[in-house]
Amino acid sequence: MGMRCVMPLQHVAVAAIEGFNIDYWAMITHIVRYNVQPLFGRMSDRQRYQMAKPRPLSPHLQIYRLPLPAVMSIMHRISGAALASGTVLMVLWLVMLAAGADWFALAAGALAHPLGKFVLFGYSLALVYHGLNGVRHMVWDLCIGLEVDQVYRSGYLVLAMTVVVTACLWLVI
Amino acid sequence: MAQMTHSRSTAPRDKGLGHWRWQRISALATLGLMVYFAYMVARIGPMDYAAAAAFVAVPVHALGLVVLLVAGLFHAALGVQMIIEDYVMLAQGRQRFVRLSQGVFMLLAVAGLAALTVITGVI
């Protein structure tokens, strides 16, 4: 539906900053069309169409290039979901260990297989990232590092440490 | 912290904070024990069945795994609940999905704990 406000205050402020370079005629027509005319009588079909047609959208998720903190936020959620799914495999490994030597050999074989190693690598990567970024979240909970430049710096730090720690895990072990 | 504690809502001040608080507590527990778990995985890696079973059956290791299982699965359940609540509408059966996920994690915990009791030979 059409916008029914007369003129939002922030628009007035922006207009003031920009030296009141406003399309006054458009403003007046807008106010009359959406605030005055509906008060009197029935609307014409044309008016109804005007009010129902899609209004201009503000830029949103699919239009902006996501900034780093937003990307890291959704990565935190994705890695968390991956880890939650991975618990199935962890419990399965424990159950196979409990089930006896044959089952354990099967589990060990699966983990030694390139595909198994790939899954394990992905799991470790998600774990390290989620853990480090989780620490970042808890530091934020203490109201530390909430300035924009600090958020960016801690973000780059977490990304770098994720790479280093995961590499250490796989190179040392 | 001071600027975040003033609520103008009439709801009890700590109502609804439980999820947030338990998410942090379980996160801390899981974080610490996951480091320990990484060490255990590294140790178990080259072992054969008997050695691995004996290693897991060591009381400290078994206890660590028990707490990791409970805290980790609890943390996972809380996180999955958040994701479901964000993306599934009430009308689409949000509550049922949440309960379902909690049931799955409960089953996993029971299975893991049962496996650990068998490995350690407690029963």
Cα-Cα-Cα-Cα dihedral sign, residues B26, B31, B32, B36: positive
N residues, chain A: 173
Domains identified in chain B, total number: 1
- Nearest CB to A98 within list B69, B83, B115: B115
Which stretches in chain B have pLDDT values below 50? 1
Which of A128, A36, A151 is closest to A82 using CA atoms?
A128
**What domains appear along chain A, each with residue ranges and CATH number?**
9-52 (no CATH), 68-172 (1.20.1300.10)
What gap in Å lies between CA A74 and CA B114, rounded to an integer? 35
Residue B14 falls within a domain, yes or no?
no
Residues of chain A in contact with residue B79, where contact means CB-CB under 8 angstroms, are: 80-81, 84
Chain B residue numbers with beta carbons less than 8 Å from the beta carbon of A91 are 69, 108, 111-112, 115
B53:A104 CB<8 A: yes
On whether residue B12 sits in a domain, the answer given is no
Considering only CB atoms, which chain A residues are within 8 Å of B111?
Answer: 91, 94-95
ipTM value for the complex: 0.86
CB pairs under 8 A between A and B: 71
d(CA B5, CA A136): 21
**In this predicted structure, what is the pLDDT of residue B54?**
93
In a domain, B102, yes or no: yes
CA of B108 to nearest chain A CA: how many angstroms apart?
A: 7
* pTM, two decimal places: 0.75
Residue B1, C-beta contacts closer than 8 angstroms, at least 6 positions apart: A142, A143
Supply the CATH number for residue B89's domain.
1.20.1300
Gap from A67 CA to chain B (nearest CA, Å): 21
Q: Is B96 among the domain residues?
A: yes
The dihedral region occupied by B11, where left means phi > 0, alpha psi between -120 and 50, and beta the remainder, is beta
In this model, does residue A87 exceed pLDDT 90? yes
* pLDDT tens-digit series, residues A50-74: 777 777 777 777 777 788 999 999 9
pLDDT band at A22 (very low <50, low <70, confident <90, very high): low
| Residue A93 near residue B116, CB atoms below 8 Å | no
Q: Is residue B31 part of a domain?
A: yes
Q: Domain range spanning residue B54?
A: 19-120
Domain contains B5: no
Token pair belonging to B90: 């009430």
Question: For residue range A155-164, what is the model confidence (pLDDT) as tens digits?
Answer: 999 999 999 9
| A interface test, pick of B49, B68, B88, B102 with most A CB neighbours within 10 Å | B49
State the nearest Cα–Cα gap between B9 and chain A, in angstroms.
Answer: 21
Classify residue B83: in a domain, yes or no.
Answer: yes
